[in-house]
């Protein structure tokens, strides 16, 4: 069931502490399902290995965290991340635990290399999506897509989060979106800018009254939009407005609207005179990042794209923006 509280239900000496750790994650806003699944498998392994004490020796951690056949590098890194968090929790609780090294995992499959759209490209893209016409197999696209793409850029949402929004998740009175079970299984509240809220209000009025569980951006059959049609529509829009695409695996991609939102937000804050390092936790929470490390990449990227940031910050604060490491 969606609303059930996840548990470990394990048999190793560490199972009770895993339950306590999981409750702490839930209290921090995580849904916990993802962490619970990994910890249940880890607990079963520890039980099979005959662990006798509530401690976490390095030998057992490394054995379980070794890359499995047919396992992607990102999946292994996810297991390492959860076990690292649990090991640090054990240390805080006064138990003996060796914290696995993050570097033990295989290198992730992708580099931080998004394609940031210019303001002119965004204008042309939105003009193109506004010109969409209704077609027989997708009669709602000319109504749904202009608001969906504006939400992806205007709030930096992941596509999966946007198409998963239900009517009950969109509070147009308070002007807040509730993102449920986002990446890293963490819920969050996202307040769109007022002009976007007003557009969404007009969109909702066009659709009329809908049940709370209905999708806010419904497909032609009233269900959830699949991701592939949105990807292909984005490619079509790029062609219409003359923005070149690098081909499969290259940008711009739909997800680059999220990257563009982050960079443009940092650039706006910079030009307003804000301390970007101090604002990073705000952006991390808004984007639903599990840690500030992921958000730091946007600061590096913004500095590379707009060298004025580095020049002025170094004059005022010294080397305040760390350089990205060359690969």
pLDDT single digits (tens) 123-137: 999 999 999 988 877
The mean of the pLDDT values for the chain is: 83
Lowest model confidence (mean pLDDT) among 11-15, 48-52, 261-265, 274-278: 274-278
Adjacent-strand bridge partners of 314: none
What pLDDT is attached to residue 294? 76
Q: Is 0.85 topped by the overall pTM?
A: no
Helix axes 141-155, 227-240, angle to 10 degrees: 90
pLDDT band at 29 (very low <50, low <70, confident <90, very high): low
CB atoms within 10 A of CB 102: 10
- Asked if residue 181 has pLDDT above 70, the reply is no
User: Is the Cβ–Cβ distance between 41 and 47 less than 8 Å?
Assistant: no
What pLDDT is attached to residue 47? 93
Token code pair at residue 252: 């711009």
- Asked if residue 208 has pLDDT above 80, the reply is yes
User: Is the Cβ–Cβ distance between 96 and 55 less than 8 Å?
Assistant: yes
Q: How many helices (H) and strands (E) does the chain have?
A: 13, 3
The gap between the terminal CA atoms of the chain, to the nearest Å, is 44
Length of the chain: 327
Over residues 258-276, the pLDDT tens digits come to: 999 999 999 899 889 888 8
Rounded Cα–Cα distance for residues 327 and 190 (Å): 34
CA 211 to chain CA mean position, Å: 27
């Amino acid at each position: 069931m969606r609303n059930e509280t996840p548990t470990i239900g394990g048999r190793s000496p560490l199972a009770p502490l895993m339950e306590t750790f999981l409750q702490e994650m839930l209290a921090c806003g995580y849904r916990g399902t993802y962490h619970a699944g990994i910890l249940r498998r880890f607990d079963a392994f520890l039980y099979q290995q005959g662990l006798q004490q509530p401690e976490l020796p390095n030998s057992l951690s490394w054995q379980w965290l070794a890359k499995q056949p047919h396992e992607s590098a990102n999946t292994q890194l996810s297991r390492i991340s959860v076990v690292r968090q649990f090991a640090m929790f054990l240390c805080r609780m006064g138990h003996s635990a060796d914290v696995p090294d993050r570097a033990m995992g295989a290198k992730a499959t992708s580099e931080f290399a998004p394609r940031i759209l210019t303001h002119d490209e965004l204008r042309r893209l939105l003009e193109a999506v506004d010109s969409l016409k209704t077609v027989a197999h997708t009669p709602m696209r000319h109504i749904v897509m202009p608001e969906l793409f504006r939400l992806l850029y205007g709030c930096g949402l992941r596509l999966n989060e946007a198409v998963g929004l239900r009517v009950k998740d969109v509070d147009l009175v308070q002007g807040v979106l509730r993102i449920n079970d986002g990446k890293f299984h963490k819920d969050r509240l996202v307040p769109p800018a007022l002009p976007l809220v007003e557009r969404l209000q007009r969109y909702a009025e066009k659709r009329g009254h809908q049940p709370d569980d209905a999708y806010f951006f419904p497909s032609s059959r009233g269900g959830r939009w699949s991701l592939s049609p949105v990807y292909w529509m984005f490619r079509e829009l790029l062609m219409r407005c003359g923005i070149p695409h690098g081909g499969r695996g290259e940008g711009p991609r739909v997800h680059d609207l999220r990257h563009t939102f982050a960079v443009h937000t940092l650039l706006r804050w910079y030009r307003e005179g804000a301390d970007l390092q101090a604002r990073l936790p705000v952006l991390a929470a808004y984007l639903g990042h599990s840690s500030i490390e992921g958000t730091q990449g946007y600061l590096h990227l913004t500095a590379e794209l707009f060298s004025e940031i580095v020049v002025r910050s170094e004059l005022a604060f010294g080397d305040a923006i760390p350089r990205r490491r060359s690969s």
